[in-house]
Structure 1
Amino acid sequence: MNSEEEFYDAETGGRTNLTRMGCGGEGMVQALCDSKTSQENNMREKRHVVVFGHVSVCLCRHVCFFICRKTLPFPMFSRNDFSIWGFLRKCIGMELSKITMPIVFNEPLSFLQRITEYMEHTYLIHQACTLSDSIERMQLVAAFAVSAVASQWDRTGKPFNPLLGETYELIREDEGYRLISEQVSHHPPISAFYAESLCQDFKFHGSIYPKLKFWGKSVEAEPKGTMTLELSKHREAYTWTNPMCCVHNVILGKLWIEQYGTVEIVNHSTQEKCVLNFKPCGMFGKELHRVEGHIQDKSKKKRCVIYGKWTECLYTIEPKVYDIFGKGKPSCRPRRAFLFCIPRRLNHSLMYVEDTVTMIPGSTLLWRIAPRPTHSAQMYNFTSFAMTLNELEPSMEGVIAPTDCRLRPDIRAMENGDIDTACQEKERLEEKQRAARRERAKDEEEWSTRWFQQGPNSYTRTADWIYTGGYFDRKYSHLPDIY
């Protein structure tokens, strides 16, 4: 690669010059990407991705040097020799969170890392912070809420249940945020998380109790818990709960995922509300993955309509225009557009979602799902973002908490393709956790959480877990040895 090389801009058809800076044996690139607006791309910051060997360098509007892996160390093993029905037939009607599942049905991530995937489209929050109109901010918050569940598309592997006291941290200076999560309860399993902008623009936090049940042909997940987003500049707070999730064909056929239910996003400062209906598939699959809803002001006047698919994209349009075009079913087709710039040389390594959402003329694109790597199917259907979550860089050792998911030996062994070791380590960790619980019961000692405490949500007054601070002070001597 030359010191200066041109890259094709997928949006404009133009070219971008990137300057390479040497750093040991690897090339490092510094770039400052300007924000760009177009009819279908006025909601996302411009990005570039440059490949060096086995890693990618992501270049954002912020000057950054973020190096992340683009694949897992070992591909997913075949599940063809295993019958999920053979295990689940004894669990019909039971809550699966209380049952130890065989590791063959897992993916090499903890549930704490899985909920971190809510942050994949954080640029939507940053964009909302810059807008002066509260309805436009609500549109982007709605897009963020939908995008938060988009990574579940085709993700049929079960994340590892976090151990009590397990934590996960993620600092993304290129995206302008940091996150900490903790497993605060084992029975019932409750995961609490807290994310904040590095510029103090927003706070995003919540607690999730994933209640799983098996109904014979499907596994249903009810993600109990409230999501709270606070925009500091506008002194606004938004709350919502996630939709239901269901995995179908667990006995016979190809597994597929459905999200359904009503999601209400409330702006507690303006009393504006967004109501999103995640459509159930229906008899003939016509409503599969569809999302439809509206935003209303405090007088309950409908201000705009939102439509799309949680697996693809989300649009907004005026209610009158939406009604004229038959409530989202016009005959016209949208032109194809991508939300960020991709070098021409990378086109072969990304898998684009075929656009099946019909765009109504006059619509504004709020969000489009990022393309997945072409080898995603061999990597547990992970997104590019998910690929990076369990990466343990040398600089992290001795810095992150000893309870961090990245240090779990069973997940690490599975990621490296060593299933036998993963099974042994999983059994060892579960027995160690049970032994610790017996010791606490013997001493009549209650478990004490480290970074969160139970309390009511400040806006909904429902049960929640509140971040108490202090994690990033890096004082971890009091943490238990859970691994």
Structure 2
Amino acid sequence: MENNMINNVSFSQRTCLPSEMIQWNERNIMSVLKNCLGKELSKVTMPVTVNEPLSFLQRVCEYMEYPEILNKAANEEDPADRIKLVATFAVSALASNWERVGKPFNPLLGETYELQRKDFKILCEQVSHHPPISAFHAESSYYKFYGSINPKIKFMGKSINIQPKGVVTVELTRWNEAYTWSYVNCCVHNVLVGKLWIEQLGTMEIKNHSNGYRAILDFKEAERSSSKEANQVFGIVENDEKKVIYRLFGKWNDFLKCASEEDYQLNMQQKHVNESMSSHDRNARKLFSKLNSFKMPLFLGASIEDDQVGTSELNSLSLREYIDISSEIKSALLWKCKERPLYSAKYYHFTDFAMQLNAINPNTTQPLCNTDSRLRPDIRYLEEGDVTAASAQKNRLEEKQRDAERLRKGRNNDSWKPRWFKFDVNPLTKHEDWTYTGGYWERSYETTSQIF
């Protein structure tokens, strides 16, 4: 780390925002969306009322709501235990998305956001405008967490699909290990009619580039938000020989549990025995009804071969069977989602963590960089409930950004370099990505652009 962790002077946490959520004007949104079928929405100017009062950089910081999971992972001796906790951290980072249907503000080119807590600090920067790419770097005494996100947002008629393109990396410094994964797609349902609801869909593979261990998580699709199957996630942890060590299951908006492979197999064998006995029982009853004139005892507990139920058979199970198994098996709780504030629904469904992201600590002795998202006037006005001023400032900032781009082109200098990140090769993963260049926490902001 560059220097010792800097702790902000504590101040009272917010329990609500300055103003309640602005209700969507469905007519305005419909007029915008009707010509956007299949288009990339990041390139479409949307009414400010569809936004929540946070920049996308601040939403990226919400990945860090449960840093204690990485602290625990760093202290595990068994590599299987380390990767199962890294996988747990990856799931926990999605929990804040539940019921969050507001769109974060698109960051301006060069915009930054910093966050410091007692056990970590994180910096985000908008390193590209076309395509929009947000880079971030978090660090503590135990780990580093960094990467870049390029969100692809498309309107599909009845839903909006969000694809968070990009790779994220966790380094556990004690073990010199690097884990990488990409986040799964997010779908906002009932955009035009009905109650809006969100689900995460797809497969997430978490790889340990040092020893070949990996975790595979499957985020299941549900028919509706109220169904028992909604928000379900199931997965495995396997070693470098493809042997399954752990089974993971839970809900990405609620909890994640873990069972050993031995306990899972015992459960599957018992389930197989019970189902076979039930089948024998049904067949025996049918036979007895046909031969009711005979008074012969029927043995219902016939022996059954002790078949092993492996990964391939698990993959063929239905979602309901998955849920039945997870409710019966011996397991340990890895993570539980924190309860939201009492009036969260009135404030964009923010978590306690999100509620603090745009607050400015009046007691801090460290000045904010002038490109920090907290200083954006459009976000601040929306948070205070002034839609007219928020819309005017949003338009002004976007036009200012376009003017700066035209000026660079006029000088035959279309290139723009981020202040705190560079595109480089990660020596641990051998992948190219945006990496932190250092220096931010030394508070050297003299060469920073005035983008607001």
Q: Answer yes or no: same fold by TM over 0.5.
A: yes
Q: Does the C-alpha gap of structure 1 residues 356 and 106 become closer, same or farther in structure 2, counting only changes over 3 Å?
A: farther
SS of equivalent residue, structure 2 residue 13: strand
Give the TM-score normalised by the residue count of structure 2: 0.83
Shift of 1:359: 3.8
Q: CA offsets, 1:280-311, max 9 Å, x none? A: 11489453211001000000000010001101
Q: Does the C-alpha gap of structure 1 residues 263 and 79 become closer, same or farther in structure 2, counting only changes over 3 Å?
A: same
Does residue 464 (structure 1) correspond to residue 407 (structure 2)? The answer is no
Counterparts in 2 of 1:160-309, with a 5 A limit? 160-173=105-118, 176-197=119-140, 200-282=141-223, 285-309=227-251
Shift of 1:447: 1.0
Are the counterparts in 2 of residues 84 and 250 from structure 1 also a CA contact under 8 Å?
A: no
SS of equivalent residue, structure 1 residue 373: coil
Are the counterparts in 2 of residues 168 and 404 from structure 1 also a CA contact under 8 Å?
A: yes
Q: Does the C-alpha gap of structure 1 residues 462 and 88 become closer, same or farther in structure 2, counting only changes over 3 Å?
A: farther
List alignment gaps of at least 5 residues for structure 2: 1-6, 273-322
Pick aligned residue for 1:76 from 1, 4, 21? 21
Shift of 1:457: 3.6
Quote the Cα distance in structure 2 between the aligned partners of 1:166 and 1:257. Answer: 28
Q: Does the C-alpha gap of structure 1 residues 431 and 151 become closer, same or farther in structure 2, counting only changes over 3 Å?
A: same
SS of equivalent residue, structure 1 residue 72: coil
Q: Does the C-alpha gap of structure 1 residues 159 and 397 become closer, same or farther in structure 2, counting only changes over 3 Å?
A: farther
Which amino acid counterpart does residue 188 of structure 1 have in structure 2? P
Indicate the residue corresponding to 1:427 in structure 2.
395
Quote the Cα distance in structure 1 between the aligned partners of 2:129 and 2:199. Answer: 27
Question: What is the identity percentage for the equivalent residue pairs of Structure 1 and Structure 2?
Answer: 48
When Rg is computed on C-alpha atoms for both structures, the one with the higher figure is 2
Relative to its length, the structure with more helix (as a share) is 2
> What RMSD in Å do the two structures reach over aligned CA positions?
2.4
Relative to its length, the structure with more strand (as a share) is 1
Shift of 1:83: 4.8
Pick aligned residue for 1:377 from 330, 338, 345? 345
Shift of 1:133: 1.2
Q: CA offsets, 1:341-373, max 9 Å, x none? A: xxxxxxxxxxxxxx9996434200000100001
Quote the Cα distance in structure 2 between the aligned partners of 1:93 and 1:209. Answer: 18
Q: Does the C-alpha gap of structure 1 residues 239 and 103 become closer, same or farther in structure 2, counting only changes over 3 Å?
A: same
Which amino acid counterpart does residue 87 of structure 2 have in structure 1? A
Q: Does the C-alpha gap of structure 1 residues 109 and 323 become closer, same or farther in structure 2, counting only changes over 3 Å?
A: same
Quote the Cα distance in structure 1 between the aligned partners of 2:229 and 2:265. Answer: 18
Quote the Cα distance in structure 1 between the aligned partners of 2:431 and 2:192. Answer: 37
Indicate the residue corresponding to 2:55 in structure 1.
110
Does residue 367 (structure 1) correspond to residue 335 (structure 2)? The answer is yes
Does residue 310 (structure 1) correspond to residue 255 (structure 2)? The answer is no
Pick aligned residue for 1:447 from 409, 413, 416? 416
Higher relative contact order (CA 8 A, sep 6+): 2
Give the TM-score normalised by the residue count of structure 1: 0.78
Q: Does the C-alpha gap of structure 1 residues 356 and 447 become closer, same or farther in structure 2, counting only changes over 3 Å?
A: farther
Which amino acid counterpart does residue 363 of structure 1 have in structure 2? S
Q: Does the C-alpha gap of structure 1 residues 99 and 459 become closer, same or farther in structure 2, counting only changes over 3 Å?
A: farther
List alignment gaps of at least 5 residues for structure 1: 1-61, 331-354
Q: Does the C-alpha gap of structure 1 residues 65 and 422 become closer, same or farther in structure 2, counting only changes over 3 Å?
A: closer
Are the counterparts in 2 of residues 309 and 357 from structure 1 also a CA contact under 8 Å?
A: no
Are the counterparts in 2 of residues 295 and 302 from structure 1 also a CA contact under 8 Å?
A: yes
SS of equivalent residue, structure 1 residue 406: helix
Shift of 1:70: 1.8
Quote the Cα distance in structure 2 between the aligned partners of 1:372 and 1:241. Answer: 26
Shift of 1:268: 1.2
Indicate the residue corresponding to 1:85 in structure 2.
30
SS of equivalent residue, structure 2 residue 328: coil
